Chain A
């Protein structure tokens, strides 16, 4: 059971837009920055979004992030078949058991 909750799967057609949600609590998302990671099959995760809504150099602006309260959202526009991957949210949990926590991951299928 992951500390952060994501939908197991989402799907959309090429060219369309999709959003992936990540729900947490005041001890994690509510009071800390959220990051998003893309994991293509057989590869290591890659940082897509950090500090809720910032993109590292080289990440296209088709990818966006937002946060409201204890939830965060990853948005992907202009879907491409190459976007098929697992997506994870992550943040710091500042409860007594302070640690980095991740969502369970969302499998994106581009139909």
Chain B
């Protein structure tokens, strides 16, 4: 059973960079066949796809966030990470890491972590 766990600061100051890491257990990122995703959910709102990465390092980003987002992978640690720069209060959300089988079929999700942007 694949499990994903997000970790990182729950509070980030405006204009700084939000950094989160997702640790995968029960499966190897380097085995291929899946895309490792970040998705967020603003309080009381719907799901917003941020982007995903393949084990090889190929990335796909939401065009509306692309200029501020970097997703990277560390196969030696079986982790992937999210960096979102120049954050504002509008980036306050629950951030989920997840596994995508292909093109939006997201079969495993982390529990989510709330990140608040505030001074």
| A residues in contact (CB < 8 Å) with B | 2, 32-33, 35, 37, 43-47, 50-51, 56, 88, 90-92, 97-105
- Given contacts A45-B47, A102-B48, is CB(A90)–CB(B106) below 8 Å? yes
User: Looking at chain B's contact residues, is the secondary structure mostly helix, strand, loop, or mixed?
Assistant: strand
Q: Range of interface residues on chain B? A: 20 to 34
| Set of chain B residues within 8 Å of A50, measured between Cβ atoms | 101, 105, 107
- Given contacts A45-B47, A90-B47, is CB(A33)–CB(B103) below 8 Å? yes
Give bound CA distance, A32 to B101, whole Å. 14
For B100, the closest partner residue in chain A by CB is: A100
Q: How many A-B residue pairs have CB under 8 A?
A: 64
CB-based contact A47/B105 at 8 Å: yes
| Set of chain B residues within 8 Å of A32, measured between Cβ atoms | 103-104
User: 6 new A-B pairs (CB below 8 Å) besides A33-B104, A99-B49, A99-B62?
Assistant: A35-B106, A50-B101, A98-B60, A99-B51, A100-B103, A102-B47
| B residues in contact (CB < 8 Å) with A | 37, 46-49, 51-52, 60-63, 96, 100-101, 103-107, 109-112
CB-based contact B107/A102 at 8 Å: no
For B106, the closest partner residue in chain A by CB is: A47
Query: What is the CB-to-nearest-CB distance from B26 to chain A, in angstroms, rounded to a whole number?
Result: 15
For B97, the closest partner residue in chain A by CB is: A44
The 3 A-B pairs of least Cβ separation, nearest first, read A92-B103, A97-B63, A100-B49
| Set of chain B residues within 8 Å of A102, measured between Cβ atoms | 46-49
CB-based contact B109/A90 at 8 Å: no
